[in-house]
Structure 1
């Protein structure tokens, strides 16, 4: 199992707009297609104007399959056109659990 951690840095002060747009237009699409939301956060200290979301996958093949479906979804494409102007940068990391940890999401 693995977790993809995506960090989006918005333009200063635009994290509220980003979260409002995501809740209204993007959340249900991603939950339907990506499936396992592990967490969704915003930064309060440190690097500001960041939104971090994490999604769980069985393996890289499942991640690729689900993200391909997401990128082809017409509603997602429409959302992305509205969302991208709010962002300054995006970063993605693939996290694998330590040998002694087992993720707690449900299949």
Structure 2
């Protein structure tokens, strides 16, 4: 099992709008196509205006195949238009649990 952590820095003053649009338009498409949805978080302390999403996949190949299908979904470009200009920077990390991690 691998975990994908996607960290988005949202433009100041736009966090609420981004979360609302994602919850209404982006998340349903992703849940339809991607791996297991682990969680969605906003920063409360530290560097503000961040959203972190975590997804689980069987492997990198599983992730690649699922993302290809999601990107071909006609609703995905429509979602991207809705969030255009709200995201400042995006970072993605692939995490692999160690043997004693409760998440495998």
Q: TM-score range by the shorter chain?
A: over 0.9
Pairs aligned (count): 104
* Runs ≥4 residues deviating over 4 A: none
Distance 1:57 1:68 in 2: 14
Greater Cα shift, 3-12 or 75-84 = 75-84
Q: Corresponding residue for 2:2?
A: 2
In structure 1, the partner of 2:73 is 73
CA offset digits 1:41-99 (Å, max 9, x no partner): 00011110000000000000000001111111110111012113100000000000012
Write the distance in 2 (CA, Å) between the matches of 1:70 and 1:54.
Answer: 16
Could you list the runs of 5+ residues in structure 2 that have no partner in the other structure?
none
Cα pair 2:11 2:87 within 8 Å, conserved: yes
- Cα distance in 2 between the residues matched to 1:24 and 1:59: 28
**Residue in 1 aligned with 2:36?**
36
- What's the counterpart of residue 87 of structure 1? 87
